[in-house]
Structure 1
Amino acid sequence: MERPVTVKKTLNNNVIIAEHPAYKEVILIGKGIGFNRKTGDEIEPEIAEKTFLLRDPEEKQQYVNLLPHVSEELIPLMSDVLNYVEERMEEPLHEHIHVALTDHLAFAFHRAKNNLEFSNPFLSEIETLYPKEYQIALEVVTIVYDKTGVQFPMGEVGFIALHIHSAVTDKSLREINRHNRLITQLVHIIEEQLEVTVDRKSIDYHRLVQHLHRAIHRIYTGETVGDQTNLDNMLKKEYPLCYNLSWKLIKVMQRQLNRTVDESEAVYLTIHLQRLTQK
């Protein structure tokens, strides 16, 4: 059995900050865990529904500042949701999700109760890029509805999926959103230049978005796809429209990401674009 922890601060009836013998400060969440607790009280950590560390002092301060703005009955629900997400993802979540998702869900409740619709322009891209996170986000929305009767709009599913992805990869939401916006921009340029509309539910769209996503990842990691000079010359001759468009897309990526792009990317992009024109 774990040694008792010492209460440092009661944040509300359901959350306390405690001194842990091994981990220094921990945050304990549980229904009524903070009721009548005073600084210096010893409690058994097993009575908490959720115990987590916020090693980053800034993250911890954000969490402490956030809690007074979160309805107390939502805190145990947030804990249930985070436990559920961790189990379903089958891997640990980065600690910043405690702050980010609690903040997002609290505001989502406010929007839903006040009928403030929150659209998500990247919903199709998010579903395509992060199918597992998207599915779990759908389940989270169902859990919230079952426990509170509050129905979140579909736009929220995409945002919750992004928070889950961010917590697993430890990428910032800003970086993920920047890449999603870039992919959306590239798809619009493709549709405009090729005069096509790509069905967002089609396998072609799925392949295209996945390819753009992998290309962005390669640009960031400096990974190359090998010398394709012969193929490059052949595609330039055979498919000039798609070849020129692929370079236009590469220039947009270079500008937005502020990185050089391996010239061989043009070959693979041209092949993808040519496939679209044949549909």
Structure 2
Amino acid sequence: MLSVKKILNNNVVIAEHPDYQEVVLIGKGLGFGKEPGQEIAGDKAEKFFVLKNEDEQQQYMNLLEYVDEEFIGVMNEFIEKLEARFKTKLHEHIHVGLTDHLYFAAKRIRQGQGIKNPFLHETELAYPMEYAAAMELTEWLNEKLDIRIPDGEIGFITLHIHSALTNRNLAEINHHTQLVSELILIIEDYLKIKISRKDMNYLRLVRHLHHAIERVQTETYVENQDSLKKVLQVEYPVCYNLSWKLIKIMQQRLQVSIPDAEAVYLTLHLQRLDSAQPNT
């Protein structure tokens, strides 16, 4: 038996749990006639998940005011499938963030409004496992909601999944994805090339840029490469200068210092990419 802490509606209750502190219980009529402090049988709940943060609880309460319970149920099942696929508990904020996002996305789709995602390909390359999960499970979601979720939306779902797996802020992840896309355009302009988005070297470059951003954000610095740096300055001056141009943009946007070693590794990626172009 658990004890009721808050009644969100007749079917959703926040309860005190001996192992997880506070949990959200979902079940038909579960909260009807209940009062805070009363005991409630956890085995009567159809679903339950942990929602410890008070802000998340309040946002979930706000969500229940405009999202119908059938959609809430579908989303909880969707999140359970994600957790089973990755064999881990996702951060609690996905229950609010992804539910809210997909609720309004579904409304736009039914109204015939298009959804554009200019960073779709970069998202797929940066987070391939999350993208594969989003793409596969969206097929299940299409059947449940009787809609056709477009590819652009799969990219946004991918970011929500990555955010919940890593407990990174979604706005930060979006910012990094946009930054990488901008850096790619600068590379194309500087080297006067058009990079094929199917090129393996492009895939490596995108992933390298994302990993570089994550390293400087977490202060996980790569080993210094002074001897290689001197060689690259002489052998590949164009790519070396471009790498520093990109590093300075990253420093400005991220507001962090980036070590010289990152410019060395970035130069190698740029040179490999440039030398593979047919027009160079």
User: TM-score, with normalisation over the residues of structure 2?
Assistant: 0.91
Structure 2: 5+ residue stretches without partners: none
- Aligned-residue CA RMSD in angstroms? 1.8
From 203, 220, 225, the counterpart of 2:222: 225
- Cα distance in 2 between the residues matched to 1:175 and 1:265: 21
Counting only pairs closer than 5 Å after superposition, residues 49-128 of structure 1 correspond to structure 2 as: 49-128=46-125
From 265, 268, 272, the counterpart of 1:268: 265
1:129 has 2:130 as partner: no
Answer yes or no: is the 8 Å Cα contact 1:94–1:170 preserved in 2.
yes
Shift in alpha-carbon separation, 1:258–1:45, aligned structure 2, 3 A: same
Give a deviation string over 1:182-225, Cα, whole Å, max 9, x none: 11111111011111122222211110011111211222233333
Aligned to 1:162: 159
Answer yes or no: is the 8 Å Cα contact 1:7–1:37 preserved in 2.
no
Shift in alpha-carbon separation, 1:94–1:204, aligned structure 2, 3 A: same
Q: Structure 1 residue 86: deviation in Å?
A: 0.4
Answer yes or no: is the 8 Å Cα contact 2:126–2:206 preserved in 1.
yes
- Residue 80 of structure 2 aligns with an amino acid whose one-letter code is N
Q: Structure 1 residue 276: deviation in Å?
A: 1.2
- Cα distance in 1 between the residues matched to 2:163 and 2:259: 27
- Cα distance in 2 between the residues matched to 1:253 and 1:75: 39
- Residue 90 of structure 1 aligns with an amino acid whose one-letter code is K
Report the secondary structure of 1:121's partner residue.
Answer: coil
Answer yes or no: is the 8 Å Cα contact 1:14–1:33 preserved in 2.
yes
- Cα distance in 2 between the residues matched to 1:221 and 1:7: 40
Q: Which moved more, 1:172-181 or 1:14-23?
A: 14-23
Report the secondary structure of 2:69's partner residue.
Answer: coil
Give a deviation string over 1:107-155, Cα, whole Å, max 9, x none: 1111111122121121111111111111111122111111221111111
Aligned to 2:140: 143
- Cα distance in 1 between the residues matched to 2:172 and 2:257: 18
Answer yes or no: is the 8 Å Cα contact 1:14–1:75 preserved in 2.
no
Sequence identity (%): 50
- Cα distance in 1 between the residues matched to 2:231 and 2:150: 48
Q: Structure 1 residue 74: deviation in Å?
A: 0.7
User: TM-score, with normalisation over the residues of structure 1?
Assistant: 0.92
Give a deviation string over 1:149-172, Cα, whole Å, max 9, x none: 111111111111111111110001
Shift in alpha-carbon separation, 1:48–1:201, aligned structure 2, 3 A: farther
Number of equivalences: 275
- Cα distance in 2 between the residues matched to 1:9 and 1:162: 31
- Cα distance in 1 between the residues matched to 2:8 and 2:226: 63
Q: Structure 1 residue 262: deviation in Å?
A: 0.7
Aligned to 1:180: 177
1:214 has 2:211 as partner: yes
- Cα distance in 1 between the residues matched to 2:220 and 2:167: 21
- Residue 243 of structure 1 aligns with an amino acid whose one-letter code is Y
Give a deviation string over 1:22-79, Cα, whole Å, max 9, x none: 555421123x244744326643212223212221111101110111110221111111
Answer yes or no: is the 8 Å Cα contact 1:162–1:173 preserved in 2.
yes
Shift in alpha-carbon separation, 1:75–1:14, aligned structure 2, 3 A: farther
- Cα distance in 2 between the residues matched to 1:160 and 1:151: 14
- Cα distance in 1 between the residues matched to 2:33 and 2:17: 16
Counting only pairs closer than 5 Å after superposition, residues 15-54 of structure 1 correspond to structure 2 as: 15-20=12-17, 23-30=20-27, 32-34=28-30, 36-39=32-35, 42-54=39-51
